[in-house]
Amino acid sequence: MTLVRMHSRSTSTNAVHRTVAEAMDAAGPQVWDDMTVEVALSVMAAARTGHLVVCDEDGQYTDLVTRARLTAVRDSSGYTDRVRLRDITDGGPFASPLTTVAEAEHAMRHRRLGALPVVDEHGNALGVVAHSR
């Protein structure tokens, strides 16, 4: 997995000019937005990943959901087994392939994101940049 090393301030000119397209990992598991939360959690567990890329019926990126987010929804008082991913997604932030690594690092720090999807001009999920551990 290719991970972006996160720093409080990037001192490397490489991070300033390098794009996320050069630093991203494959998009990983992509699921449809009509999938239920419970099934999405099962897919996530089977894939041993902490996030899933959510796509609409046309295969276009709509959001990235995390295990923590799905677990919070499942554990909420209003949850039923009919809740679908489209019911909980909000079209979260994403990066263009031309976004620099420094810009992605800033956005991830500012929004407290563990991963940021990379989406092309046609709405296709190309990959994900993530914090290194």
pLDDT for 28: 80
Classify domain 13-130 at the CATH class level.
alpha beta
Three-state SS annotation for 38-99 = HHHHHHHHHHCCCEEEEECCCCCEEEEEEHHHHHHHHHCCCCCCCCEHHHHCCCCCCECCCC
Strands 25-26 and 125-130: antiparallel
pLDDT for 6: 35
- Cα 96 from Cα 22, distance rounded (Å): 12
pTM: 0.77
Residue linked to tokens 């993530």: 130
Which regions of the chain are under pLDDT 50?
A: 1-13
